[in-house]
Amino acid sequence: MMRTTVTSLTQKMVVAWRKEFKRCMSSIVTRATGKDKQSSQILVSPPLVSLDFPEIWGSSSDHDNPPSGHEICGPRTAAIIDGKSIAEEIRLGIASEVRRMKEYTGRVPGLAVILVGQRRDSETYVRNKMKACEETGINSSLVELPDDCKEDEVINALSHFNEDPSVNGVLVQLPLPEHLDEEKILNVVSLEKDVDGFHPESMGNLAMRGREPLFISCTPKGCIELLIRSGVTITGKKAVVIGRSNIVGLPTSLLLQRHHATVSIVHALTKNPEQLTSEADIVVTAAGVPNLVRGYWLKPGAVVVDVGTCPVEDPTAELGYRLVGDVCFEEAVRVASAVTPVPGGVGPMTIAMLLSNTLDSAKRAYEFT
Amino acid sequence: MMRTTVTSLTQKMVVAWRKEFKRCMSSIVTRATGKDKQSSQILVSPPLVSLDFPEIWGSSSDHDNPPSGHEICGPRTAAIIDGKSIAEEIRLGIASEVRRMKEYTGRVPGLAVILVGQRRDSETYVRNKMKACEETGINSSLVELPDDCKEDEVINALSHFNEDPSVNGVLVQLPLPEHLDEEKILNVVSLEKDVDGFHPESMGNLAMRGREPLFISCTPKGCIELLIRSGVTITGKKAVVIGRSNIVGLPTSLLLQRHHATVSIVHALTKNPEQLTSEADIVVTAAGVPNLVRGYWLKPGAVVVDVGTCPVEDPTAELGYRLVGDVCFEEAVRVASAVTPVPGGVGPMTIAMLLSNTLDSAKRAYEFT
């Protein structure tokens, strides 16, 4: 029953995406060939922002029906990477360090969160972050602003936290309402308190060899930590990152490369994404498309980290929905050597890394080692 | 004769690299597993900078002897992408725009270059940049500092140019002598004048969707311009970038991705780099290893952009050496559909893009369109 719901939902999404995909493709071709540009221009390469548009997943491959001969029916052999218990272990370590810090310096780390609007998912994420702070002894402050607030109000709240010496980490819960300029707002976050690692200078320092950002974005850092703790060698391995968001896909690909994987980035305009994916030793997927990655997309023995969390209807669940990852879990566990579940895989690690970044920031600020 | 010299040189380099490669690999494994770290640490992931070391190309594949059955002997079918003439066309356009700017505003763009030490190659590059400025009517200033100068002297020179309103572009010729902190120095370049695009915030803005750096690094921008002007579609194509330097490989991979290619990054620790490369529709190589990319590395019909320029002994050449690319040109022209030559391919484009960035900067500063 649940299975049918998921499949039919995915099918509807795929049909909608295909239409959007065709529209986008024709628009890109026009932009890339510069047909909409003045002929007096010296260079023909288009401005980069004109190339941006939402990722619309809808390639020629069929997400629903594997090619014949690719049905997956063997035994479940993959190890399940238990993000919940690994995150718990890390949080215990953080709580212990916070106690030690308090004992020696009289101070504890502080995290400040700015939440704009009343998105239910954002409210849940923020609540979980505040709760995790409380449990580890980290101070937390929350500023909630109305959905129709002005840019200046967000920037003022940010600036206040940038100045406050008791605050070591500042984050703006994304996504912001459309009328607000995310770029302008994120640029205001002090580099020394950018515990989300979303400032472009943090991203540049993550990308560039010989440099190191003060903070690495929480989800990518959590993925790498899961891999290392699961005994997965990254150096020299082929890795595929599915999705190229600023929040997950991009920093994950940069981080895997820093760890010397050979990284390929699969996105909504990749033709035959399953072909490249099926050559990878490590697959990290953050497309936000339920069940996109089928068993036949995977190389036998691959390690699969599923960052996708998409709510799908489920009348049997307490809230009427449940979270589904990008990976068809039932198939993946029959092909891969290790898989993260959804929920209970990457999710808990993201918050643990946020706490860890906040602790690191406080240690730097208070010169406590 | 020349051929023999190149091959024997390459063989020597490969042997040396293999030794270094083994040493590096064992060092990475230690670092990645955290064996050299304190057990009290909360996270096991190592600091990123500890993962950095020079790229030592020496994979298991043999750069010199293609596997049997892979000898390339067909006719030369590839189009040769004439970077020299495309760059010349762009420079004429820039010269014309500079004249128009002078006529309307009474001002011309200004580029300032800081050269530390007396590396012969750096001196040649800088001389070529100054000459190109002169030919297009752009003002240029050069500060030459001795090899043993102090960091403060470089930073003072930079700060002076950052302040000078007649200077629209500032660049520090790389590499710097080892005693100078490249990161610290490049961070001083004003974002508004960072015509090389090497500031981490410029790199972050290039990487992040929805953003756009004020300047894109010159060589990657030149590569894309060559592709577009040669009628190559980038969107949806598989691209492989060989090399991951901050100056070429990294920004080129980010830029190709912005143009919606599916990008894989091959580096010195990639196993079987020829396998991934041979699946690519577009190959951009910037490894600095002469003749690394053999014909059998290429997919028939691929487009190949060769950024490599390595001086190799050649007694018949005027200067006793000649420049050789990463690509075995004689083989590539029999497999690819289009190839850039070395010299005369990407090289002239790099300077043209520097002029273009300087002009753009002046247009922004003087609000001239």
- pLDDT at position B22 is 59
A234 lies in the same domain as A269: yes
Can you read off the two tokens belonging to residue B249? 């490989």
Burial category of B90 from C-beta neighbours within 10 Å (exposed 0-12, middle 13-18, buried 19 and up) = buried
Known catalytic residue at B152: no
- pLDDT at position B261 is 98
- pLDDT at position A23 is 57
Q: What is the 3 state secondary structure string of chain A?
A: CHHHHHHHHHHHHHHHHHHHHHHHHHHHHHHHCCCCCCCCCCCCCCCCHHHCCCCCCCCCCCCCCCCCCCCCCCCCCCEECCHHHHHHHHHHHHHHHHHHHHHHHCCCCEEEEEEECCCHHHHHHHHHHHHHHHHHCCEEEEEEECCCCCHHHHHHHHHHHHHCCCCCEEEECCCCCCCCCHHHHHHHCCHHHCCCCCCHHHHHHHHCCCCCCCCCCHHHHHHHHHHHHCCCCCCCCEEEEECCCCCCHHHHHHHHHHCCCEEEEECCCCCCHHHHHCCCCEEEECCCCCCCECHHHCCCCCEEEECCCEEEECCCCCCCEEEECCECHHHHCCCCCEECCCCCCHHHHHHHHHHHHHHHHHHHHCCCC
Last residue of one domain, picked from the residues A195, A213, A231: A213
Contacts of A203 in chain B (CB under 8 A): 203-204, 207-208
CATH number assigned to the domain comprising residue B240: 3.40.50.720
A209 lies in the same domain as A170: yes
Residue A110 forms part of a structural domain:
yes
B346 lies in the same domain as B221: yes
User: Which entry of A196, A281, A326, A360 is annotated as an active-site residue?
Assistant: A196
Does the beta-carbon distance from B265 to A260 stay under 8 Å?
A: no
A339 lies in the same domain as A279: yes
- pLDDT at position B21 is 54
Contacts of B178 in chain A (CB under 8 A): none
A304 lies in the same domain as A261: yes
Residue A233 forms part of a structural domain:
yes
Residue B101 forms part of a structural domain:
no
- pLDDT at position B63 is 57
Q: Cα distance from B262 to chain A (closest Cα, Å)?
A: 6
The amino acid present at A187, given as its one-letter code, is N
B260 lies in the same domain as B165: no
The pLDDT tens digits along chain A (369 residues) read 344 444 455 555 544 445 555 555 555 554 544 444 444 589 999 999 999 888 888 643 445 677 777 778 889 889 999 999 999 999 999 999 999 999 999 999 999 999 999 998 899 999 999 999 999 999 999 999 999 999 999 999 999 999 999 999 999 999 999 999 999 999 999 999 999 999 999 999 999 999 999 999 999 999 999 999 999 999 999 999 999 999 999 999 999 999 999 999 999 999 999 999 999 999 999 999 999 999 999 999 999 999 999 988 999 998 888 999 999 999 999 999 999 999 999 999 999 999 999 999 999 999 999
Residue B92 forms part of a structural domain:
no
Residue among B225, B255, B258 minimizing CB distance to A43 = B225
A231 lies in the same domain as A201: no
Last residue of one domain, picked from the residues A157, A188, A213: A213
CATH number assigned to the domain comprising residue A176: 3.40.50.10860
In chain A, which residue's Cα lies nearest the Cα of B223?
A45
- pLDDT at position A14 is 47
Contacts of A245 in chain B (CB under 8 A): 209
Question: What ipTM, to 2 d.p.?
Answer: 0.90
Does the beta-carbon distance from B42 to A216 stay under 8 Å?
A: no
A220 lies in the same domain as A342: yes
Residue A358 forms part of a structural domain:
no
B180 lies in the same domain as B228: no
Does the beta-carbon distance from A228 to B260 stay under 8 Å?
A: no
Does the beta-carbon distance from B201 to A206 stay under 8 Å?
A: no
Last residue of one domain, picked from the residues A213, A238, A253: A213
Known catalytic residue at A306: no
User: Which entry of A82, A129, A306, A360 is annotated as an active-site residue?
Assistant: A129
In chain B, which residue's Cα lies nearest the Cα of A31?
B259
Residue A133 forms part of a structural domain:
yes
B179 lies in the same domain as B225: no
Known catalytic residue at A196: yes
- pLDDT at position B1 is 38
Does the beta-carbon distance from B233 to A264 stay under 8 Å?
A: no
| Domains contained in chain A, number | 2
B163 lies in the same domain as B242: no
A187 lies in the same domain as A274: no
Chain B interface disruption, residue of A201, A229, A266, A272, most B CBs within 10 A: A201
Residue A57 forms part of a structural domain:
no
Residue A226 forms part of a structural domain:
yes
Within 10 angstroms of residue B311's Cβ, the number of other Cβ atoms is 15
Closest to A356 measured CA to CA, from A159, A15, A37, A97: A97
**pLDDT per 10-residue tile (average), chain B, 369 residues:** 47 51 55 47 90 75 67 88 98 98 98 96 94 98 98 97 98 96 94 96 96 97 98 98 97 98 97 97 96 97 96 89 94 98 96 98 97
Q: Compute the distance between CA of residue A106 and CA of residue A164 in angstroms, rounded to an integer.
A: 17
Show the domain range for A155. 106-213
